[in-house]
Amino acid sequence: TDRLKGKRALITAAGQGIGRATAEMFVAEGAEVFASDVNPDLLSGLDCEVLTLDVRDDASVRAGVDRAQPDILFNCAGFVHHGTVLDATDEEWDFAFDLNVTAMFRTIRATLPVMLKRGGGSIVNMSSACSSVMGAPNRFVYGTTKAAVIGLTKSVAIDYIKQGIRCNAICPGTVESPSWLDRVDALGKQLGSRDKAMEQFVSRQPMGRVATATEIAALVTYLASDESAFTTGHPHIIDGGWSGQ
């Protein structure tokens, strides 16, 4: 229960889903947690410091980092675009890259000087199994952005490896969260049956179920803690066997 004692942690998109489950686990492990989200209403009920932070806005990112002074940064914010290359518009592409990739450039650029001053740190970036790990149907823009996250992660890791800063990515399969349930509803409308949509999502997971947000939070906690001191620059796959066959 003290795996993160003495550490300060900043989490983006902590209002719901994986970000929120991670904030709760970090608190339980003794970290001083700064849970942020663009929508502050979602942060109520969390037992830690909460702040409004829009990862698409550099001033907002800098203000959040200034307040949190983090040793741990969990870049969780991201958005799932639905469709193939022929379905995507320039605007959708730009929005997805800004939220899923450029936002990490902003938060890491703001956080690194703090970590360097504090003598080290751990950065965990949200990628996906759908990335350079594997393709998934109708996830053209999404998979491209999440592959970019892995490249970004490796670059930061190699540049700062000698200064005690680690940077890893996590690559989950399908995880139960509010936005995932919205995706199930949307596919259900398309297929004329929500049960069929649920079955489609679940059947692509060889374990026959999707992950809970808490299962993903456990990997983030490991990567944030000193237990993972010997790993940096890697995509850590946690996908119920989806990409493993």
Q: How far apart are CA 169 and CA 124, in angstroms?
A: 5
Residue count, binding to ligand NAD (CB under 6 A): 30
Q: How far apart are CA 176 and CA 8, in angstroms?
A: 27
Residues 126-155 close enough to bind ligand NAD by CB under 6 A: 126, 128
Catalytic one among 34, 74, 140, 142?
142
Q: Report the residue from 29, 32, 54, 71 that binds ligand NAD according to the rule CB under 6 A.
A: 54
Q: Report the residue from 17, 64, 143, 240 that binds ligand NAD according to the rule CB under 6 A.
A: 17
Residue with tokens 């998979």: 143
Structure token digits, residue 74: 């969990």
Q: Which stretch binds ligand NAD (CB under 6 A): 2-10, 23-31, 86-94, 168-176?
A: 168-176
Q: Which stretch binds ligand NAD (CB under 6 A): 2-10, 111-119, 169-177, 230-238?
A: 169-177
160 catalytic per annotation: no
71 is an interface residue for ligand NAD by CB under 6 A: no
78, 13 Cβ separation under 8 angstroms: yes
**Nearest alpha-carbon partner for 125 in 99, 152, 92:** 152
**134 φ, ψ to 5°?**
-160, 160
Q: Which strands form 121-126's sheet, in the order they lie side by side?
A: 49-52, 32-37, 8-11, 72-75, 121-126, 165-172, 235-238
Shortest CB 13 distance to ligand NAD, Å: 3
Q: How far apart are CA 142 and CA 124, in angstroms?
A: 18
As annotated, the active-site residues are 142
| Residues of this chain that bind ligand NAD (CB under 6 A) | 12-13, 15-19, 37-39, 42, 53-56, 76-78, 80, 99, 126, 128, 172, 174-175, 177-180, 213
